[in-house]
Structure 1
Amino acid sequence: MSLEMKVMEGLPGGFLWAAVKAGIKASGKSDLAACLVDGVAQGAAVFTSNQVVAAPVTVGRNHMSATGGRVGLVLVNAGNANCATGQAGLDACNSTCTAAAETFGCIFDEVFPSSTGIIGVPFPADKVIAALPELKASLGNSAEHAKSFARAIMTTDTRMKVAQTSLHTDDGEIRIFGVAKGAGMIHPQLGAPVAPHATMLVYLFTDVEAESSQLRELIPLAVDKSFNSISIDGDTSTNDTVLLLASGASGVRLNDQNKAAFAAALNEVCQKLAYAIVDDGEGVTHVVTLHITGARNEYEARQIAKSIAHSPLCKTAWSSADPNWGRLMAAAGYSGVEFDPAKVKVRIGEQPVYENGMRSPDFDEARAHTVMQQRDYTIRMDMGQGDAECRFITCDLTAEYVRINADYST
């Protein structure tokens, strides 16, 4: 089920979006995007847990800490990750933030920078700075402006990834709009807000009136069930970032009465974006949901899911719709989670394939193969140990993925 995502009118108020061509991408396509807040938004962010982090992750983390979560401008470039670029990369990031603050009329450390692209290439700050006046002149709040932002941040993505929803409360309407990019180097491991810890970038915009402390409480819960529960290739990027901004333009205050409903709406947007990232993964022909049930706790359920999701043997079998259940059991077996294989039951779709420590007597290879020929299907594994479960979205590994990444930098 491939998603065709659209931006509809009715975007959250208080934000202006724009994108231009700064000459960073070799393709010549738009590669510099901005979102200007009407005033200052309250924000919360989570970043990659990779020990090697890009300059904008360091700078963005410092800015969020210095301002207590206030953001006036989001500045994103694609085509250069500004990672492993040393002090020069940090200086370049800071210089673009300074120039952006002067151009857009905001405070330096209220600029939130992000980058995505090739690692280890000197960052062309001069190109970014030269394009800022045009970027400012292009700002707008229409669906087309929001789409231009979503397209400019793409790298190996084949389509933009957006999701939106609205929430009706007694005090008025709250809107949420999310933008994401990512197709490879996807196994996000996002840490706690403001904690030291192909890329995934996610920007969540809402017009609810909220404090940064409230957003910092909500974002880990939304991220855990979405972006921390997907994987394309098992590689955690150096630039992964999720930013949640609240403009307050709706005039509706986040409170105890509407908090649960807002959290559910935010989770919905995040889960749609997370699915869209895997669905547009590099070379992906099958999106596989691993539903692990009967685990002792959610952590162990996720460890088993990750072990299967990152197995090259499982992923290549999925690419040809081969119902090789032995690979599933082997990957679960080396996950580090203790379990009794005789208690495990495995189904591909609704087809039983494994139970009582051996192939199920009802296993029908042809039917299982037919299920696996679908674009989207679920593999269920009941561990027979408890009541905990998790859903983890992943994909197959194809020759096209190898082709894309074999010569990515050349």
Structure 2
Amino acid sequence: MDVEVKTGREALPQGFQWGAVKAGIKASGNLDLAAAVAPEGANAAVMFTSNQVVAAPITVGRSHIASSGGRVRAVLVNAGNANCATGKAGIDACSATCAAAAETFGCIFDEVFPSSTGIIGVPFPGDKVVAALPGLKISLGATEEHAELFAKAIMTTDTKMKVARTAIDVNGVSVTIFGAAKGAGMIHPRLGPPVPPHATMLVYLFTDIAAEGTDLRELLQPAVHQSFNSISIDGDTSTNDTVLLLASGASGVKLDSMLRERFADALNRVCRTLAHKIVDDGEGVTHVVTLDISGARNEAEARQIARSIAHSPLCKTAWSSADPNWGRLMAAAGYSGVEFDPENVIVRIGDVPVYEGGMRSPNFDETKAHKVMQQREYTIAIHMGQGDAGCRFVTCDLTEEYVRINADYST
């Protein structure tokens, strides 16, 4: 089998239509209701937030995926209201919008997959969603412009839409993966299978490969683990986080053992690109920092150390001013809960050694380290001196702008 992975601006996956309208949910009056429709249906795999407090669309979405056997015909997404902590009224409103969407798009109730993002605890305006559905149906199409409408409508505090795509050439037939995401704050995804569950992150992945739901789930979980579960903006796990993968089968190419590795690589690439874009567009972000943890006993401990550093306000504020305060890095690693010998740890900021042998490196150059940290993006490498495991975790600084955005978010 001749398989080639391409990147760039390939055609969109076949078997899908996208659209968006203004339903009057956002106070700004911007696009706030989006749909992605698979007229012939699509097989699905999904991962939801592990937060114990979940929004109504998470509850309804879990039920629909289970009831439909993982078949989805329409994805309905609103921005401006999270429909979370809204009680039975929120569940009922979500179900009512799904029923209306099913009638509008010509599918059964359980084949509608709902998502919401926005403010928590505000009554959900389901009537506005229902009233906007006829216009939403008219807006549907399969062009670049239609896909971009979808990507723009799901934004909240995002400053730019987030899309990515890639294609695999299989004996002259193109299999495409297209992803659209939103997220700029309340970003520390911890996603797991729909049962049990393991500003909000929403990610929608579309492909025209023919694949069963079981295969999609097996591919989605490692892709999410290495991308969306390996980023953090502020350490807050949302109540609405969702990653949905849909396969229409419209390319006619079946996912088999020969193609599986290449398709997995392509899916991973799209997920990593979207994850990076989420951090890069984080609220108030001026520096994107990749924590490269190596030499750990196992990957779980490496990730635990990375998260401890990524969530430290002292580390994050130092990054905002390009201050090479390596002591904060070591302190955060030290209280991570992972046991290690500080004298075996080596820390570099970019290519500048800053810590080794239990103290400041003799080759530490504060001016050079400061210059590295003035870049928009850089890497902090920490070798734990314990083993061969590691991870890469993408995070960012904490700025006054982040505080300003979130200090009055609901008012």
TM, length-normalised to structure 1: 0.98
Write the mapping of 1:2-401 to structure 2, written as runs, cut at 5 A: 8=9, 10-170=11-171, 172-401=173-402
For residues 88 and 391 of structure 1, the distance between their equivalents in structure 2, rounded to whole angstroms, comes to: 42
- The aligned amino acid for 1:375 is R
- The aligned amino acid for 2:320 is S
| Preserved contact between residue 7 and residue 143 of structure 1 (Cα < 8 Å) | no
**3-state DSSP of counterpart to 1:11:** coil
| Preserved contact between residue 10 and residue 167 of structure 2 (Cα < 8 Å) | no
Residues 245-286 of structure 1: per-residue CA shift (max 9 Å, x gap): 000000000000000000000000000000000000000000
For residues 235 and 80 of structure 2, the distance between their equivalents in structure 1, rounded to whole angstroms, comes to: 22
**3-state DSSP of counterpart to 1:37:** strand
For residues 167 and 102 of structure 2, the distance between their equivalents in structure 1, rounded to whole angstroms, comes to: 31
**3-state DSSP of counterpart to 1:185:** coil
For residues 241 and 328 of structure 2, the distance between their equivalents in structure 1, rounded to whole angstroms, comes to: 30
For residues 148 and 367 of structure 2, the distance between their equivalents in structure 1, rounded to whole angstroms, comes to: 43
CA shift for structure 1 position 171? 6.9
For residues 202 and 370 of structure 2, the distance between their equivalents in structure 1, rounded to whole angstroms, comes to: 35
Residues 296-325 of structure 1: per-residue CA shift (max 9 Å, x gap): 000000000000000000000000000000
**3-state DSSP of counterpart to 2:155:** coil
| Preserved contact between residue 46 and residue 194 of structure 1 (Cα < 8 Å) | no
**3-state DSSP of counterpart to 1:258:** helix
- The aligned amino acid for 2:102 is A
| Preserved contact between residue 19 and residue 139 of structure 2 (Cα < 8 Å) | yes
- The aligned amino acid for 1:80 is N
| Preserved contact between residue 9 and residue 166 of structure 2 (Cα < 8 Å) | no
**3-state DSSP of counterpart to 1:250:** coil
For residues 326 and 269 of structure 1, the distance between their equivalents in structure 2, rounded to whole angstroms, comes to: 35
| Preserved contact between residue 188 and residue 240 of structure 1 (Cα < 8 Å) | yes
| Preserved contact between residue 284 and residue 398 of structure 2 (Cα < 8 Å) | yes
Of 166-175 and 180-189, more deviation after overlay is shown by: 166-175
Residues 349-380 of structure 1: per-residue CA shift (max 9 Å, x gap): 00000000000000000000000000000000
| Preserved contact between residue 104 and residue 133 of structure 2 (Cα < 8 Å) | yes
**3-state DSSP of counterpart to 2:338:** coil
For residues 214 and 326 of structure 2, the distance between their equivalents in structure 1, rounded to whole angstroms, comes to: 46
CA shift for structure 1 position 170? 3.1
For residues 183 and 352 of structure 1, the distance between their equivalents in structure 2, rounded to whole angstroms, comes to: 32
**3-state DSSP of counterpart to 1:270:** helix
CA RMSD, 1 decimal: 1.1
- The aligned amino acid for 2:231 is I
- The aligned amino acid for 1:286 is H
**3-state DSSP of counterpart to 1:147:** helix
**Residue equivalent to 1:3:** none
Residues 5-58 of structure 1: per-residue CA shift (max 9 Å, x gap): x99450000000000000000000000000110211000100000000000000
CA shift for structure 1 position 381? 0.2
TM, length-normalised to structure 2: 0.97
| Preserved contact between residue 289 and residue 377 of structure 1 (Cα < 8 Å) | yes
**3-state DSSP of counterpart to 1:381:** strand
Residues 105-151 of structure 1: per-residue CA shift (max 9 Å, x gap): 01100000000000000000000000000000111000000000000
Query: What percent of counterpart residues are identical?
Result: 75
| Preserved contact between residue 209 and residue 255 of structure 2 (Cα < 8 Å) | yes
| Preserved contact between residue 171 and residue 252 of structure 1 (Cα < 8 Å) | no
For residues 271 and 171 of structure 2, the distance between their equivalents in structure 1, rounded to whole angstroms, comes to: 24
| Preserved contact between residue 20 and residue 31 of structure 1 (Cα < 8 Å) | yes
For residues 102 and 395 of structure 2, the distance between their equivalents in structure 1, rounded to whole angstroms, comes to: 39
CA shift for structure 1 position 68? 1.4
- The aligned amino acid for 1:355 is E
Aligned residue pairs total 405
| Preserved contact between residue 44 and residue 215 of structure 1 (Cα < 8 Å) | yes
**3-state DSSP of counterpart to 2:191:** coil
- The aligned amino acid for 1:59 is V
Residues 202-228 of structure 1: per-residue CA shift (max 9 Å, x gap): 000000001111101111010000000
For residues 280 and 96 of structure 2, the distance between their equivalents in structure 1, rounded to whole angstroms, comes to: 36
- The aligned amino acid for 1:349 is G
| Preserved contact between residue 64 and residue 194 of structure 1 (Cα < 8 Å) | no
**3-state DSSP of counterpart to 1:339:** coil
**Residue equivalent to 2:4:** none
For residues 103 and 165 of structure 1, the distance between their equivalents in structure 2, rounded to whole angstroms, comes to: 31
For residues 123 and 192 of structure 1, the distance between their equivalents in structure 2, rounded to whole angstroms, comes to: 26
| Preserved contact between residue 9 and residue 142 of structure 1 (Cα < 8 Å) | no
**3-state DSSP of counterpart to 1:175:** strand
- The aligned amino acid for 1:380 is A
CA shift for structure 1 position 173? 1.8
For residues 101 and 72 of structure 2, the distance between their equivalents in structure 1, rounded to whole angstroms, comes to: 13
**3-state DSSP of counterpart to 1:228:** helix
